[in-house]
Chain A
Amino acid sequence: MSKARPRRGTDQDGQGGGDDLRATAVRSEIEEKKLKVEVDIENASERTLHVVAEMRGMRYDAASRRLTVLLTDAGFEPAPGGLWKIPRMRSVEPNGRSTLEVRVPNRITRLAPGGGDAPEIEKIDLTTAVDEVEVEVAWGRSPFYRDVRESTSSEPPLNRWQSGVAQSCGRLTKGEPQGA
């Protein structure tokens, strides 16, 4: 069976939930080895909604000095890999509020563009390079569960599940790092 039919109630079947779930505020601060990021979320609907509760990726934009913390797989490319990690989820009750807290590395290590036979590595110290932190949170009407149909879809499973992505941003609080 080769099926890639959209999942019900998702962006892909045109029945995504719009702004049923909203991110209203982001707070972030530098800790000893991490950045602590909190995002307040609100469920404006009459049913429980489910959000991705862990960091899936990070994007840094040097021009705007903005770090985007991704609790979504949007834009991720397929590649052979060790595993596909099922994300940790959190539920938000009808008309309820919750705060997601994630701790992300305070540095990004990545391949620099334009390498030759061997890539160059670049490292970005987020404690000095970032002024603003944005968070994108994928959400759906049920917790993520595996679509066990054999599929030819090239969309990441999380993208096929989600009903929407909520986002918000806030300034990075800088000061003395909290240490042991």
Chain B
Amino acid sequence: MTLFIQDDAVGTGSTGGVFADRAFFDLAIACNGDVGLGTAATAQANLAQVQYARTDPGAPAQRIDALVNTNFNVNAANIDIIVLAVAEDFVFNDASSITSRGGTALPPAGSGQPGANLNASTSCLAIYDTSSNNGSGYCVARDGTGALDLGIPIPVILFHELSHAFRIVTNALLALTLGCDPSSPEENAAIVEENQLRDQMGIPRRDAGIHCGQTCAAPPPPEEDCCIVASIASRSPVSSEVMTLRRLRDQVLRRSEVVFDFFEHLHDSYYGMSPEVCRLMVKEPRLREHILNLFVRPLVLGLGLIDAYTRGGTRGAAIGAKCAELASGDGLAELGDTELQLTHALLRGTINGAGIVSEHPMLRDLFALLEKRARHDRFVYWALVEPADMVLGVLVATRAGKSHQELGDYFAGRVDDWGARMPLTGVWGALTTDERVRELAFLEQMLLVSPGARSVFADRLRTRYTNNDALAQALQDAGYTRKETQ
């Protein structure tokens, strides 16, 4: 008999920091209200022993049964696992707040397992937050979408920690890393078991591959922390396209150091300016509509079209047909010639007649900001400005009556030229030959689909890293260049 609930009858300070009744209630939820669950007093004033004569057949009840009725021999007193139901004022011995974790399972002090340093006792401790993030709720990743919009009820947090506790006391703890996406093997296992209780409670499942969470309360106002695309797209017809692109970006980021490093540079530049754009939008709400129609929509649709051509393998007249469909779709079809000119002026930094900007004075501040922060930044320009500009080119070509094949050839040429000019970062110099070969193979799949694009890219790499035999070898091994014959 090895599962206990602690209260704070012993210790310094007033009572009210640990809630034994709440812990029993949450265990009862896990046991599906099984009447076989109870507690008994012990010789220690601050511990009650959990007793369980199980009748419920469910997996969560079976787990509680195992925890209660197995002697794990964690210590000589057979006090194996202690549940502490705490509130938002609980902090661990490393100063971290319970509200930054939701809950935790601490291995016994001196056991050498992760978290043991935070434990002052020889028992395993399952500590969890009953305040639900001080009333704001914890939201975790929803199975199927990965969106951080799934609430985690308090009994589920306890059951998650007991899943960890079970593997701690059976010396079966899996690998634990601190990244939350993807989740570590140990957190993945705990979420899989958490989902057993979710199924029993009839609530949606959590994504076992993502351990991240966030406060469930309303998002902060846009001027506090703003991605231009997200803040505009979230309430627009392109919101689902943005979600798709985000997932694609995250999938790609997992597999490529080069792409990850590129995004580091891009984020560094982009987030150095996007909050200022968002503040402009708060100051002038009509600006939001302009930015949606003139930039965000073309950008998002353009990236989707590029993905269809590169990763999707759509070529020739088929990609041309997609171009035509895009050009006649919602939003872009209504873009008049004047607005098209205005957008070109904004994106390319050309003043297309003082009249255009003077007709739209609210765009003056935006134009000045883009000129100062975005135009000359090669990452922002390549990743955000050029794809939008490609779509405008498609619009112009479509309105000029080009055939699907002609549109396809035009678009393919633009993408191949654009892909070959992907900004290079210093990460190439830090990779091994094998890593470079893998990265080049990856880029061939994702971006540099034509031999011409790969040749130009190879030349750029060789120019940047002259006399680098290892790089030359990697380019050869990846098929970007041919072995030079004597």
Contacts and interface: CB of A to CB of B under 8 A. Distances in A.
Interface string B70-103: 0000010101001010111111111111011111
Interface string A24-67: 00000000000000000000000110100111111100000000
Contact of A113 (B114, B120, B179, B227): B120
Contacts of B168: 80
Interface in A82-128: 82-91, 93-94, 105-125
Contacts of A111: 92-93, 118-121, 125
A1 interface: yes
A156 B214 CA distance: 16
Nearest to B253: A148
B79 A88 contact: no
A109 B87 contact: yes
A122 B18 CA distance: 10
Interface residues of B, number: 105
A81 interface: yes
From A48, A153, A156, name the one whose CB has the most chain B CB atoms within 10 angstroms. Answer: A48
Given A8-B265, A78-B176, A117-B79, A85 B121 contact: no
Nearest to A89: B225
Contact of A89 (B105, B152, B224): B224
B92 to A, nearest CB: 7
Interface in B109-133: 109, 114-115, 117-123, 125, 128-129, 133
Contacts of B268: 8-9, 141-142
Contacts, number: 301
A55 B133 CA distance: 11
B224 A109 contact: no
Interface residues of A, number: 75
B364 interface: no
Interface string B3-18: 0101010111110111
A18 B4 CA distance: 49
Interface in B137-183: 138, 140, 148, 152, 157, 160-161, 164, 168, 173, 176-182
A154 B211 contact: no
Interface string B246-279: 0000100111010011001101101111111001
B213 interface: yes
Nearest to B256: A1
A122 to B, nearest CB: 4
A79 B273 contact: no
A6 to B, nearest CB: 10
B186 interface: yes
B202 interface: no
Contacts of B97: 55-58
A175 B375 CA distance: 54
From A55, A73, A82, A142, name the one whose CB has the most chain B CB atoms within 10 angstroms. Answer: A82
Contacts of A147: 179, 260
Given A47-B273, A48-B276, 10 more contacts: A5-B257, A48-B272, A59-B95, A79-B176, A80-B186, A82-B160, A109-B86, A146-B250, A149-B254, A150-B182
Interface of A: 1, 3, 5, 7-9, 47-48, 50, 53-59, 68, 70, 73, 75-91, 93-94, 105-125, 141-143, 145-157
Which 7 pairs from chain A and chain B are nearest by CB? A123-B13, A79-B115, A82-B102, A83-B213, A109-B17, A105-B89, A47-B272
7 contacts: A79-B106, A89-B225, A93-B275, A109-B8, A115-B109, A120-B46, A123-B8
